[in-house]
Structure 1
């Protein structure tokens, strides 16, 4: 499911850059324990770092939280529509 995972991650990254206004750190591939042996496409989304004062303020802003959640939702919705159109 590596290719599909990368596609979903790319869609999330695009939503974060264009609609949410988050700085992109790029899509990276790694063998992470939380994603190990999944039987479906899987991604780990890091929306920011509480150790960064500016990002901590942004992450604690309820409106910004809505934008982040909306970006993840839109990316998943678009990914699902792509898969369904292939079938």
Structure 2
């Protein structure tokens, strides 16, 4: 995983640590996003993370539930937090 300069700036602006971005990249639920791939930290992603990470680490991740990233291959283009609820 590689963060673009834009993603690095957005992560700093939005107070999203690199460890959270890595967790979203590893466990996030994927969805199509304008020709790229979006990965969302939702309940399903947190359940997957709970199988691998400690309870303390998952507890820290829960603070960032709803955060997402947009990636092109293994390069993260941007990161943000959801402003609206995603309804299926």
TM surpasses 0.5: no
More helix by share: 1
- Higher Rg of the two aligned structures: 1
More strand by share: 2
TM-score normalised by length of structure 1: 0.31
TM-score normalised by length of structure 2: 0.31
Higher relative contact order (CA 8 A, sep 6+): 1
